[in-house]
Amino acid sequence: MLFLKFLLITTICIFFIEGKRRNEQKRIKKKTSKNVYALLIVDVQYCFINGSLALNRSSARQNAAEVIPIINKLIQTIPFDVFVYTMDWHPKDHISFIDNIKDRQEYVLGDHYEKYKIGDLVTYTGPKYWTQQVLWPTHCVQNTFEAQIAEDLIHPLPNQKVFYIKKGTDPDVDSYSAFADNNKLHMTILNEKLKSKHVTHVFISGLALDYCVAATALDAKRFNYKTFVIQDACRGVDEKTIKFQLNNFKKNHIRIVQSADIKKIIKHENQKTNL
């Protein structure tokens, strides 16, 4: 009988101590959990502003330069923890350039490589990968002026809070997303960098909304970041593909926001974390 009483008291004590331990763990986790916000600035390069792929000459006729003051204001007024600048950075023999299709004709699926024009989708069977590729004019060639980030955009030297991602460097596969190439065969260092900074929320701006911004946003969501696309800080190529991607964001639970609302959004996200 005494043994049973002892066992009962011991069990109650263990249960009580374990409860206190779990509550303390929850308290510590709550105290140490913190939202970390990154602003991704996608491909704000001269190429897309007034160069070979200037958006104002595409079907949507949007002015890419209009994003610069909006992004600058975000940089100056919103306390982001991390800033990421991405750059299209292609070799001269890149697979996306229509001028290179003749040199790759043996890998074009089907005959008559000559029939393809800018904007067409071509299937390449090699030399390294089987891949579908939209054909573009030669653009953002490494170490050229038009591949530079626009001078009017605030873009400090790399430091603990600021880093740069160059994508599309493999001649045989394109890379719209700042996270990975289009075939998802190779990753950039972006996800690794964001994880190292404990980033939880990603806000995406830049060019072009229906291509590189969209691919980057979808990958950010795939890697489990809370993902926001800042619509007024983006411009796109084609009205149909812009509309498609905006719907795609909604389907994938990516929030479409305006720059004026970000301060409130961050405040709200922090309040939710601290509940």
Question: Catalytic: 167?
Answer: yes
HSE-up (13 A, CA, CB side) for residue 18:
6
Q: Which helix (H) or strand (E) holds 84?
A: strand 82-88
Residue 78: CA count within 13 A, CB half-sphere: 24
Which member of 47, 172, 210, 212 is catalytic? 212
Under DSSP, the state recorded for 230 is E
The dihedral of CA 209, 215, 219, 222: what is its sign?
positive
Which one of 88, 167, 174, 219 is the catalytic residue?
Answer: 167
Distance from C-alpha of 91 to C-alpha of 48, rounded to nearest angstrom: 17
Active site residue 43: yes
Q: Would residue 212 show up in a list of annotated catalytic residues for this protein? A: yes
- On the question of a cis peptide bond just before residue 127, with omega within 30 degrees of 0, the verdict is yes
Residue tagged active-site, from 43, 181, 219, 238? 43
Q: Are 201 and 122 in contact (CB under 8 A)?
A: no
Q: Count Cβ atoms below 10 Å from residue 236 Cβ, excluding itself.
A: 25
CA distances from 41 to 91, 113, 144, 172, 190 (A): 22, 35, 20, 25, 12
What DSSP state is assigned to residue 21? Answer: H
| CA–CA dist 123, 158 (Å, integer) | 37
DSSP class of residue 156? P
Where b means 16+ CB within 10 Å and e means fewer, 29-55 reads eeeeeebebbbbbbbbbbbbbebbbbb
Residues annotated as catalytic are 43, 167, 212
